[in-house]
Structure 1
Amino acid sequence: MGDAKIIACRARVLDCNMFPQIIDTIIEYASNASLQAMRVNKGFRAFIDSHLAYHLVVSKLRREDGGPLNRYEVSSSRGVVGQITFTAETATVLAASYFRSARVLDISIAAKWPSMMPALVRACPDAAFRFKLHTDLRHLNFSNATVVLLGEDKPVSVAGYLAYGIDEVRGVDTLVVHIRAPGRRDDMFDLNVKHLVLVLHPWPSVGIERHFHIVEAVIRDQLGVFWDLLWAGFVNRIPVTVISVESEPHPRIAEYKEFDLGVSIREVLTLRRSNLGLPESSPLPRFFSLDEYKHEVGNETYQIHINSGFIDRPHNTLVKFRE
């Protein structure tokens, strides 16, 4: 198999379950083609798949003439690992074992076929699902999963995020929302998730607008859609974590002297908590810088929540060989 060789010493074959780091090294330097060939061996397959499929990206394929095609490319940091074909009746190839090994699945497509999104969710029972562009998540049944909305299409209102169906999605443990545009305020909505993480990206300041002396108005005016999502989490008694991508105060509020976003929001919500009759146990949001959040949750979770590119498989993720 080229890169893959039997490891032997004085007529003894090393037990790969006892020395997984040796196989780790071999696979690290093996070509994508060699790894695909090694999958033929059932004993190697789970281990190979844990390398090939830790992070998969599903993207659209098109005909050479530019016309649409219901075929999609599946790739990892090593390159293309396969294709899947969807029809109106069925989704095929998703039973391939490398999908079952996925821990992170990026989906950069719209759900054209009704069977497509449920099939992807079922095929990756242990994966975190990340969506770069708008995808309708309504009525999907996740299994205690992490769902990350990378927001690269920059929704400009809560209505833009509700188009994802975040108010109807089920089975989500942690919902991570990247906010890349200020947006505007909309009506209140419900959330049914266990944890909410808001990643606040910078965008250019357009200057002071109004209500410069009213803290809540400042937040609502300058960070509209962020406030709506934060408020939805708060009134639904969901633990909210806010991560600021910039180490400096957000450009939209930086011009307000002696204004600390985290402290100010917590003060506003503490007051609102009593006004709304919410119990003292209702959690207030926690605020982190990127470095603080990485220290809080660990590198793997940090990469899944924050890094929009390919994520390397952690070296301590060991998979036992089958007999």
Structure 2
Amino acid sequence: MAEIEQQLRALLAIPPNYRVLFLQGGASAQFGLLPLNLLRTGQCADYLDSGHWARKAIAEARRHAPVNIVASGAAEAFTALPPFERWQLAPDAGYCHITSNETGNGLQVHDFPDLAVPLVADMTSDFLTRPVPVERFGLIYASAQKNLGVAGLCLVIVRDDLLRAPPRGLPAAFSYAVQAEQDSRFNTPPTFALYVAGLMLRWIARRGGLAAMATAARERSRRLYRRIDTSEFYRCPQQPADRSTINVCFQLADARLLETFLARAADDGLLNLRGHGAIGGVRASLYNAMPLAGVERLTAFMNDFERLHG
């Protein structure tokens, strides 16, 4: 784990006053563990309501603490992110939570605010796809299965001053402070997931690090969005400034053609394009491992499909 942590610190330029924890349970487990670990008595938690995964985090946090919604994109059907100027932060908040990339809604936070309270981010789906100013955050967490390997591992990067003795009733294995004290070895860590993560970190470093990952992500998504936006057959309702470079979500103007589109795409070897079950439509996930050739093949298929059905 020491080698993996060293690689991660080098890629993300993690300051020395942050601890890196290698935990089990995935990001969904952190939805409940965040308020239990970070809030003091009498504090609430601020949350940005940006889409499907933010709402999952909010629902779980509410089981453990008062939650203040600083802003919501619901009125726009989550086709845009509320600008920071509209955020209403609570004076008694212990932290402010954001979801950096909404996989189902196709939205991504591109600029991170500098807040008076610790900024906490679920970065599961765009972790290691771009450089991140870690010093602006109190805590970052991310499951590994998108860009860092296999399911079963969750990384937590937490600032030292947020590590507190676990509150009464919180199992020690779920305490960030205890896990930091034990170097993530309070219980047996997910060894195979860690091994794969080490391989992925070396792969990213050999290909130029996070700056290269970000350049590749921008180019892949730019080509796909350009294909969508130059057609009346396909449509992407997300506002361009907030569109995700990782999960491109779009629809067919004639929704009756969706199942035919997905079936023909599968026949052509283009798999897993169905949108999130709660949202629908089409979703192309462009994680780090996706080559540019994959996007070119998808856009070529979209051209052919439009010629046949447009």
- TM-score in same-fold range (> 0.5): no
Query: Which structure carries more relative contact order (alpha carbon 8 Å, separation 6+)?
Result: 2
TM-score tier, shorter chain, comes to: under 0.3
Q: TM-score normalized by structure 2?
A: 0.26
TM-score by length of 1: 0.26
- Look at both structures and tell me which one has the larger radius of gyration over its CA atoms: 1
